[in-house]
Structure 1
């Protein structure tokens, strides 16, 4: 029994061990002084009170031993108990500093749930995090990056993890199994082909660890889109293709890029969403439903039917319950 308790004690964290030894000395010396000088210390509690005050070097002076034996006991308490108490507070401060440094340097484990994981630090990531911070609803963000050496944000907003996103120990630190959604961005320090290969590798690692996690991956080259889908991507963002489309629209219509930016900016009150039609909307025409949804400040812009997406279809086309409605919703 004693041996088991001893092994548990030596295996405990150093703060627990130091604090336990300090408490042991305080209780022992406080009890001893009560028996040595029962008139000065009528109860064991008053002896322990004196031991706490003495060991902490506060020295209120309300209790003080009067005999030689009592004073020798006090000297022993100062040498033993005060030393352990000082060591406890020094180690406590060191642990606090180490914990803060671990958070800042990306070494600490994330323990909360339903968080957003973003892979890669770049200008796009910064824009996303800044927009998410400005939105009325908040979801805690875990940022995984191998190039950063310190968290670019406050630890209250973004939990940073330093390391490669395809390594199991890094994904465990990010608490991937309890995450709600993941966004994998392209590595700005690699060429397009290598960046896509790195993104797909991260996607495979994430889906392998949590196959139900909704993963959005940024792909730069058209050839790798199919590989990202094969790897299990729930959504593929073709950055170069989207940017080319915006540029092409600007060539045909000046100012189109500004209009599109305002349209897609969530901070302006609009969110591009996909929604399921209600049963009562079955066989309703696109034009009729568009007018109906406008009353709820929802702009119907298209329909997704099977693998086909129709933007601004004919007003006479009928809505089916199997369709998905593309809307801009406040």
Structure 2
């Protein structure tokens, strides 16, 4: 039984072991000084108080041993107790520094809910993190990346270091309670290889938590369908979007209208809303005017799998339509 208790004690964290031993020392010397000098230390509590104060080198002087054996006991307590107290606080400080380093290096799992997970560190994710953090209602952001040695944005981000297609890494992000996941493409690799890595990460996430919404950046048009098959809720073809902007720039008169449009797009948010009962049967023009009066811009309708941007003004709003709005 004694051996079993000793083994259990050794399995405790070092901080707990030092604290237990220090408390035993205070208790032992507190009782001892009370027995040696009951007049100076009228109660066991007074003895324990004296032991703690003496060992912590505070030494108020409210209780001072008078006998030879009492003072010898004090010397032993100072030599023994100070070591335990110093070790305890030294270990406590070291543990705090170690945990802070582990947090910065991405070794600490995240516990929470309603967070956004961004996979891959690049200029796009940097800009996205900056905009999410500066929004009116910022969400907690989890960044997963295997190339970074430490957290690049410690003020706003909980960093997890590791391969995004490994279960252990994804589970550290508390994936089941996440709101959305954004998988960015690694442009340092060949485009096809980057897409394959993104799809592999998507498969890992959907295998662990099928209900979480995943947005995937795909570089090659050929892999879009594979990303959808893998369970992507939305696919962003960044190369296609870039080429559209380039074509418009080439055909523009150099008046900077495209830059103005991008600035407008950055400052506002595109959202979809279920049509209300009162709007069913109204014309697109009528509903558009209602949103303009509220300071929002209606740009189209999503009906089933089809999206109609700037449809005819006479088109009637139907049940289950989704309104595409800039706010």
TM bin, normalised by shorter chain, reads over 0.9
List runs of 5+ in structure 2 lacking aligned partners: none
State the secondary structure of the residue aligned to 1:111: coil
Distance 1:7 1:111 in 2: 32
Aligned position for 2:156: 157
- Partner residue of 1:306 out of 282, 290, 304: 304
Distance 1:237 1:256 in 2: 23
Distance 2:223 2:291 in 1: 38
C-alpha displacement of 1:135: 0.9
Aligned position for 1:318: 316
Query: Is residue 112 of structure 1 aligned with residue 121 of structure 2?
Result: no
State the secondary structure of the residue aligned to 2:308: strand
Distance 1:112 1:307 in 2: 34
Query: Retained in 2: the 8 A contact 1:30–1:47?
Result: yes
Query: Is residue 28 of structure 1 aligned with residue 67 of structure 2?
Result: no
Aligned position for 1:283: 281
Aligned position for 2:88: 88
State the secondary structure of the residue aligned to 1:97: helix
C-alpha displacement of 1:185: 0.2
Distance 1:263 1:320 in 2: 29
Distance 1:318 1:29 in 2: 88
Distance 1:224 1:157 in 2: 33
Aligned position for 1:208: 207
Aligned position for 1:44: 44
1:2-17 correspondence runs (5 A): 6-17=6-17
Distance 2:286 2:92 in 1: 67
Aligned position for 2:262: 261
C-alpha displacement of 1:260: 2.3
Aligned position for 1:121: 121
Aligned position for 1:236: 235
Distance 2:278 2:310 in 1: 22
Query: Retained in 2: the 8 A contact 1:249–1:256?
Result: no
Distance 2:4 2:262 in 1: 66
Aligned position for 2:188: 189
Query: Is residue 169 of structure 1 aligned with residue 168 of structure 2?
Result: yes
Deviation per CA, 1:105-125: give whole Å up to 9, x if none. 111111122111000000000
Aligned position for 1:134: 134
Query: Retained in 2: the 8 A contact 1:196–1:221?
Result: yes
Distance 2:36 2:312 in 1: 100
TM-score computed with the length of structure 2 as normaliser: 0.95
C-alpha displacement of 1:157: 1.3
- Give the aligned CA root-mean-square deviation in angstroms: 1.5
C-alpha displacement of 1:163: 0.7
Of 76-85 and 129-138, more deviation after overlay is shown by: 76-85
C-alpha displacement of 1:45: 1.5
Aligned length: 325
C-alpha displacement of 1:104: 0.9
Distance 2:213 2:187 in 1: 23
Distance 1:68 1:326 in 2: 89
State the secondary structure of the residue aligned to 1:275: strand
Of 308-317 and 251-260, more deviation after overlay is shown by: 251-260
Distance 1:328 1:244 in 2: 23
Distance 2:248 2:306 in 1: 21
C-alpha displacement of 1:282: 1.3
Of 139-148 and 69-78, more deviation after overlay is shown by: 69-78
List runs of 5+ in structure 1 lacking aligned partners: none
Aligned position for 2:53: 53
Distance 1:21 1:81 in 2: 10
State the secondary structure of the residue aligned to 1:212: coil
